[in-house]
């Protein structure tokens, strides 16, 4: 008999079904045994009338029933089983109003009797045993949400004629900061793990692709142990041609997010509220836009002095600004715009008439920065000059500068961390929860 996913049992009429999954709990009472069986789709209660202490001359059926009782009594948490039994609808059953009376039970794979993690285990301990930690329904839900979110992003892009690209993760030179590069042996030379697809998605603009996107790994050799940093993460990137300013990028970005979060809310909203206590809905566009200088003043007026010397917002300032935006604009999102030239990379376009300001932005979501976007500088002579100002020699950037020697349209885009967006969407405390297998300065396993 074909296995039926547990979530599909409720509409079935009473009768025989086959289910399979892992044992979550066993309640072995004197006269009856209950097993909570869970699979990837949900959980169901199994029931078995206990048969014990057989008398002499017991029938073969009674011996089989006693053997089944003994097997159930010895089931350890996590043991994989396959069960055929009679489905019954009973509103008194708290778990979904259905149960399955066991007819046959096959132990497919036994689990050790004591599991290495518990409900109150620390996050680091749970990450050590991530394959067991992921059995939690709320953990599984996170990655169902991720699937819906990514699918919605791709659908929005594809419906608007974006082209999906897959850029290399091995690079001959830095794309951004040399300080955050992972260096590795590469035959007779050195290679670096890509910090972002920045240069390669820009290469698609002179190639005539017009609008591109990528969802792929990126690597940062950043020895940070905060709740929002990782050494390997999934980056969501997009780049578009023929823009007038970074405003075009922001409009694309906010419409994309509104669509994707709306898709998650529509499919998983009730489950998210039950599991995480978050009432998720599609955000209203346009998102508020606040220049950096004004953002700093808002934070200062609230009584906080930003300690950073470069003029950027620190995490506390991001939280305070976001709280102000929520209170005054009712939005979980805010674009902070007009970043100073000194805190932006050389390829960000500078404001016409004010070269101290770039056509760039950071996007904050629920108090934390999730993305940086900008209009890129497409004029070769200006680009070379800005690179030199940042202490970079054009000779080091020849392969990149070649993109601009044969015609490139005005363009811009953004990069955004997937796990960070999911963390903030669900109100969780760390991207370790929203990353399938987290990688940080001290974690390379499992």
DSSP 246: H
Assign 373 to helix, strand or coil.
strand
DSSP 446: -
**Of 438, 7, 83, the residue nearest 227 (C-alpha):** 438
Q: Is 405 part of any known ligand binding site?
A: no
Q: Is 27 part of any known ligand binding site?
A: no
Q: Is 372 part of any known ligand binding site?
A: yes
Specify burial of residue 112 (Cβ count, 10 A radius: 0-12, 13-18, 19+): exposed
- Category of 225 on φ-ψ map: left (φ > 0), alpha (ψ -120 to 50) or beta: alpha
Residue 358 near residue 374, CB atoms below 8 Å? yes
Q: How many CA atoms lie within 13 A of 258 on its CB side?
A: 13
Q: Is 176 part of any known ligand binding site?
A: yes
Q: Provide the sign of the torsion angle of the four alpha carbons 85, 86, 88, 92, taken in this order.
A: negative
Q: Which helix (H) or strand (E) holds 98?
A: strand 98-109
Instruction: Report the C-alpha gap between 317 and 298 in whole angstroms.
Output: 9
Instruction: Report the C-alpha gap between 173 and 169 in whole angstroms.
Output: 11
User: N- to C-terminal Cα distance for the chain?
Assistant: 36
Instruction: Report the C-alpha gap between 249 and 245 in whole angstroms.
Output: 8
Q: Residue for token digits 């101290």? A: 356
Q: Is 419 part of any known ligand binding site?
A: yes
Instruction: Report the C-alpha gap between 388 and 423 in whole angstroms.
Output: 38
Q: Is 220 part of any known ligand binding site?
A: yes
Instruction: Report the C-alpha gap between 174 and 45 in whole angstroms.
Output: 55
Q: Residue for token digits 């900061």? A: 177
Q: Where are the alpha helices (DSSP H) in 278-379?
A: 292-301, 315-329
**Of 266, 269, 270, 150, the residue nearest 213 (C-alpha):** 150
Assign 363 to helix, strand or coil.
strand
Dihedrals phi, psi of 439, to nearest 5 degrees: -125, 125
Instruction: Report the C-alpha gap between 387 and 376 in whole angstroms.
Output: 13
Describe the chain by its helix, strand, coil percentages, rounded to 5. Answer: 35, 30, 40
Assign 357 to helix, strand or coil.
strand
Distances (CA, A) of 127 to 233, 400, 425: 16, 39, 21
Q: Is 296 part of any known ligand binding site?
A: no
Which amino acids are annotated as binding site for ATP, given as ranges?
Answer: 369, 417-420
Residue positions in the annotated binding site for L-aspartate? 176, 220, 372, 376
Residues tagged in the binding site annotation: 176, 220, 369, 372, 376, 417-420
């Amino acid at each position: 008999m074909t296995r039926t996913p547990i979530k599909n049992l409720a509409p079935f009429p009473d009768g025989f079904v086959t289910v399979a999954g892992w044992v979550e709990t066993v309640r072995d009472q004197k006269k009856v045994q209950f097993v909570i069986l869970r699979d990837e789709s949900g959980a169901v209660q199994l029931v078995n009338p206990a048969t014990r202490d057989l008398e002499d001359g017991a029938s073969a059926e009674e011996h089989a029933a006693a053997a089944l009782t003994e097997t159930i009594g010895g089931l350890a948490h996590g043991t994989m089983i396959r069960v055929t039994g009679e489905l019954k609808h009973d509103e008194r059953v708290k778990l979904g109003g259905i149960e399955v009376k066991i007819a046959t039970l096959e132990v497919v794979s036994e689990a050790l009797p004591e599991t290495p993690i518990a409900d109150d285990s620390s996050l680091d301990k749970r990450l050590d045993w991530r394959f067991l930690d992921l059995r939690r329904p709320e953990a599984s839900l996170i990655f169902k949400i991720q699937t819906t979110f990514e699918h919605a992003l791709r659908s929005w892009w594809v419906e608007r004629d974006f082209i999906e690209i897959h850029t290399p993760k091995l690079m001959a030179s830095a794309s951004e900061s040399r300080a955050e590069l992972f260096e590795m042996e590469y035959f007779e030379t050195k290679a670096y793990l890509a910090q972002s697809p920045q240069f390669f998605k820009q290469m698609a603009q002179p190639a005539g692709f017009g609008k591109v996107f990528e969802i792929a790994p990126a690597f940062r050799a950043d020895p940070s142990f905060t709740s929002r940093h990782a050494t390997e993460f999934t980056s969501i990137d997009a780049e578009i041609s023929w823009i007038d300013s970074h405003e075009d990028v922001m409009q694309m970005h906010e419409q994309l997010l509104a669509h994707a979060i709306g898709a998650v809310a529509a499919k998983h909203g009730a489950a998210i509220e039950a599991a995480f206590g978050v009432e998720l809905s599609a955000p209203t566009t346009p998102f508020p836009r606040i220049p950096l200088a004004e953002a700093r003043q808002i934070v200062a007026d609230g009584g906080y002095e930003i300690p950073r010397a470069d003029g950027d917002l620190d995490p506390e300032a991001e939280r305070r600004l976001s709280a102000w935006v929520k209170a005054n604009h009712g939005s979980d999102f805010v674009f902070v715009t007009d970043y100073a030239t000194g805190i932006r990379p050389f390829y960000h376009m500078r404001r016409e008439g004010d070269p101290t300001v770039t056509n760039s932005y950071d996007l904050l979501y629920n108090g934390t920065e999730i993305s940086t976007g900008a209009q890129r500088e497409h004029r070769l002579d200006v680009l070379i000059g800005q690179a030199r100002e940042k202490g970079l020699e054009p000779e080091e950037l020849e392969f990149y500068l070649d993109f601009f020697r044969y015609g490139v349209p005005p363009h811009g885009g953004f990069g955004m961390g997937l796990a960070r967006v999911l963390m903030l969407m669900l109100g969780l405390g760390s991207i370790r929860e929203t990353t399938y297998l987290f990688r940080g300065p001290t974690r390379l396993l499992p």
